[in-house]
Amino acid sequence: MDLSFLFANTVNGAVYGAFLLLTSLGLSLVFGLGRVVNFAHGALYALGGYGLVAVMQRLGLGFWPALVVAPLLVVPIAIAIERVTIQPIRSRPEIYTLLVTFGVSFMVIGAIEYVFGTATTLVEVPRLFAGTVVIVGNEFPIYRLAAAALSLAVSGAVFAFVQFTPIGLQIRAVTDDPGMAEALGVNTTRLLTLVFGAAAGLAALAGALGAPIFAVHPEMGSGILLDAFLAVILGGLGNLPGSAIGAFFVALTKSIGGGYVADWSIAVLFVLVAIALVFRPTGLFGRGRVA
């Protein structure tokens, strides 16, 4: 048992977990709030990465300004998506929003491919965090750790927001009992639009923040989307702390398992989640419901 190898995998897994968490939060919030499963979430993540590249290349901005601008560009796009494709069909069975966002994801990825081509684009690590650090005999890029910390910080801010602010209270109320919340005067439709936009912003931020680590290519969102689905299902759709546990469980299993069992660990993960879903449709921790 090579401890150093295990350690490296664990750290890398934790890094990915932080990004996965940031991405999964939005997915979980949107489902808990409006029972909308957003299949386009991965595409919005990719859009964040490409937004960063576009802003840096076309507008000549530095990494950090671009990191702020890119998600802000994605939010209005997401709001438009919600207004045009999701709101009109809220009254239909839930499967329809899954179908329509499925189509939207093709549109977004197709648009990205059309504008940027299908090649992978590398993004340079910002100078502030360039270089590596050695921990327990393993070399890690500083940026990797810094970006993960930033992801965790933003995720923590989201938790706090939902827990302590008036809007957060509205979100929790609607997630718990939409009918009652409406009766008490909460504008659930507008809230969903806002949260959908914010969720997209979080995903876009994750995509942009992760660009120097994971590179940028049109399909970059698909992998993390499936992992986010797994994380959120395991944790319970609409259950934020559960999503955190789910995200790290998925990330660490992939990373540590991947070190020893190669890519079969992914298959095992899927099987575990499928079984979990079947025997506990509420997720392993969640109040949320899937079936």
Rounded to a whole number of angstroms, the minimum distance from the CB of residue 117 to other proteins is: 9
* Identified binder of other proteins from the candidate list 62, 65, 76, 110, rule CB under 8 A: 110
36 close to 86: Cβ distance less than 8 angstroms: yes
Q: Read off φ and ψ for residue 139, nearest 5 degrees.
A: -95, 125
Contact stretch for other proteins (CB under 8 A) within 4-12, 19-27, 96-104, 124-132: 96-104
For residue 286, the SS3 value is coil
Site string for other proteins, 222-251 (x = CB under 8 A): x---x--xx--x------------------
Q: Which residues contact 139 (CB under 8 A, 6 or more apart)?
A: 132, 133
Q: Kindly tell me the burial class for residue 25, based on how many C-beta atoms sit within 10 Å of its own C-beta (0-12, 13-18, 19 or more).
A: buried
State the Cα–Cα distance between residues 7 and 13, nearest whole angstrom.
10
281: contact with other proteins by CB under 8 A? yes
DSSP 8-state symbol, 255: I
Shortest distance, position 223 Cβ to other proteins, whole Å: 10
Instruction: Quote the least distance from Cβ 92 to other proteins, whole Å.
Output: 8
Regarding 119 and contact with other proteins (CB under 8 A), the answer is no
Is residue 60 involved in binding other proteins (CB under 8 A)? Answer: no
Which residues neighbour 287 within 8 Å (Cβ) at sequence distance 6 or greater? Answer: 176, 236, 238, 239
Of residues 114 and 161, the one with the C-beta less far from other proteins? 114
User: How far apart are the C-alpha atoms of 256 and 253, rounded to whole Å?
Assistant: 5
User: Which residue number, 92 or 127, has a Cβ lying nearer to other proteins?
Assistant: 92
Task: Please tell me whether residue 126 binds other proteins under the rule CB under 8 A.
Answer: no
Which two structure tokens, joined as six digits, stand for 58?
């076309």
For the CB of residue 204, give the shortest distance to other proteins in the complex, in Å.
Answer: 19
Interface with other proteins by CB under 8 A: which residues?
A: 37, 85, 88-89, 92-96, 98-100, 102-111, 113-114, 222, 226, 229-230, 233, 262-264, 266-267, 270-271, 273-275, 277-278, 281, 290-291
